A and B are shown apart, each in its own frame.
Chain A
Amino acid sequence: MPASTNNGIETWRLRTSKEQWIRWVCWLIGIAIIMYAWQMISEKTIWFFVADAPNQAADISSRMVPPKWSYMAKLWKPVWDTINIATIGTIMAMAIAVPVAFATARNTTPNIVVRTIGLFVIVSSRSVNSLIWALILVFILGPGVLAGTIAIGLRSVGFCAKLIYESIEEIDHTQVEAIEATGASGSQKMIFGILPQVLPTIAGVGIYRWDINIRESTILGLVGAGGIGLQLNGSLNTLAWTQVSLILIVILVTVFISEWVSAKVRGAII
């Protein structure tokens, strides 16, 4: 037990002196990095604008009310597009992610080369944000819903595959062994031994990702990839603040509904 001796009396302490010193040095380094980072950011900041922010905030919020409710008539189609981008993108992602996950999981991978490729696919899909995918795809496929859908799909592959392959690695092996003992082939083992164990995870991950994708697909329009973001971008560029506030409300409601649906469905599955 760490203790310090003071005038011959031992007093309890949480840490030994050495631990205390190590912690102190770590804190010093951490704070130095943070101060340096702050310095770098503040160098590039025009503080006059920052000081003006409360006025700007008051100005913008006074322009944003009341929301232009009549604009709603033009928003139904973009909302529908946004939901489609998320849904079809998620379906596409799951179709790719499940095989990738099986190829990557340590206990189902055919060999180390395939596993490495799988891991690389997962990391690169996860590292590049859907907005950047959309930026690239708009160049290739032209602006529109298709570019957004594929962007969402590509972005989601890594996330879904990672969660699925982790759950494949954690399955109960006795069940697979039991199937194997009946003389099942490799693919039968996969279908009857492994798949039933991970199916709830696959469904859960799909629903969870769908919920995230609804949120992400609301912004893809900023780079021209369809959905309600297009309207948002247009309204921001034309300084139509009453439309902006309506769009934000619509996004809020859509996200809340999708979150509710996702929670309900996941509750029913798991």
Chain B
Amino acid sequence: MTDSSEIGTYPSSWKKAPFIKNSFVRWLIIVGGAIYLAAALGTMNIDLERVKEGLPRAQRFLEAFFPPNFSDNRGVLWEGIAESIWMAIISTVAGIALSIPIGLGAARNLAPAWVYLFCRGIIAASRTFPEIILAIFAVKLFGFGPFAGFIALSLGTIGFYAKLLAEDIENSSASQAEAVKATGANWFQWVNYSIQPQVMPRMIGLSIYRLDINFRESAVVGIVGGGGIGATLNTSFSRYEFDTAAAILIIIILIVMFMEYTSSFFRKWVQ
């Protein structure tokens, strides 16, 4: 049946289909990527001598980390942790309280165009700058201490929470909203009974996630003077008390692990 010419044209091996189908685009990306990498690595000024010098230092450094010193000689460790926790809680609450009106305003299906643009602007501004930069300015304005950290973290929360809230509202089912509207509900009743039940489970999960982020961020706003455990960590680095720094890092990791565990538990419970 089959004649030899047909067998000849039939491919005898199979090749995996490439990820990017257009071969011109594929080669453009490969060549462009290679040129960029060469340029980037070329201008990075990697000082191998310095790295070589640093390796024994890294070893000594890691040795200094162990055993971690939880004894808290200067009495600031637990105070710093507590301050971070309070700061994380209060900034999450304040941030969410600010996010709710902004998030409602930034949902296209709830707000008129000018409110929408205004609220989206706030969100974009808050998302652009990292918490640290917000913290630098908060420290300049409000002085050193946890209050500056609180302000920075609250502002950072808006960009995250309001954006997700707005997106969730935009994705919520319109038919439920319509049904509630048909009963003659006013705007607040409408939002309360049709939108809120739809977005609530996810929002509770996200608020716990944000608490987790705020706690982690509170560990760094201290580096620029925003209070919390970051200040303690920074001091212990500058005083070369690496065993204390190791203890702080371990405590941070444990608290974050605990929070992650509780947040997954909470989310299951809410849904």
Could you tell me if A141 and B223 are in contact, using CB atoms closer than 8 angstroms? no
With beta carbons under 8 angstroms apart, the residue of A50, A146, A232 that contacts B46 is: A146
A132 CB-CB contact with B under 8 Å: yes
A135 CB-CB contact with B under 8 Å: yes
Interface residues of A, dominant DSSP: helix
Q: Mark A93-134, 1 if CB is under 8 A from B, else 0.
A: 000000000000000000000000000000110111101100
Could you tell me if A127 and B145 are in contact, using CB atoms closer than 8 angstroms? no
Q: Mark A33-75, 1 if CB is under 8 A from B, else 0.
A: 1101110111011100110010011001000000000000000
Distance in angstroms from B182 CB to nearest chain A CB is 18
Could you tell me if A33 and B128 are in contact, using CB atoms closer than 8 angstroms? no
Could you tell me if B54 and A149 are in contact, using CB atoms closer than 8 angstroms? no
A-side contacts of B83, CB under 8 Å: 40-41, 44
Given contacts A41-B86, A127-B216, A132-B219, contact A216 B130 (CB under 8 A): yes
Most A CB atoms within 10 A — which of B85, B133, B234, B252? Answer: B133
B contacts, CB < 8 Å to A: 16, 19, 36-37, 40-41, 43-47, 50-51, 53-54, 57-58, 61, 82-83, 85-87, 89-90, 93, 128-130, 132-133, 136-137, 140-143, 145-147, 150, 216-217, 219-220, 223-224, 227, 233-234, 237, 249, 252-253, 256-257, 260
Question: What are 6 A-B contacts with C-beta separation under 8 Å?
Answer: A50-B142, A127-B257, A129-B216, A140-B61, A142-B53, A248-B133
With beta carbons under 8 angstroms apart, the residue of A41, A84, A216, A251 that contacts B146 is: A41
Distance in angstroms from A75 CB to nearest chain B CB is 15
A-side contacts of B87, CB under 8 Å: 37, 41
B-side contacts of A12, CB under 8 Å: none
A219 CB-CB contact with B under 8 Å: yes
Distance in angstroms from B172 CB to nearest chain A CB is 19
B-side contacts of A128, CB under 8 Å: 249, 252-253
Could you tell me if B147 and A45 are in contact, using CB atoms closer than 8 angstroms? yes
Given contacts A84-B43, A131-B223, A146-B51, contact A44 B145 (CB under 8 A): yes
Could you tell me if B147 and A132 are in contact, using CB atoms closer than 8 angstroms? no
Distance in angstroms from A60 CB to nearest chain B CB is 6
Distance in angstroms from A31 CB to nearest chain B CB is 10
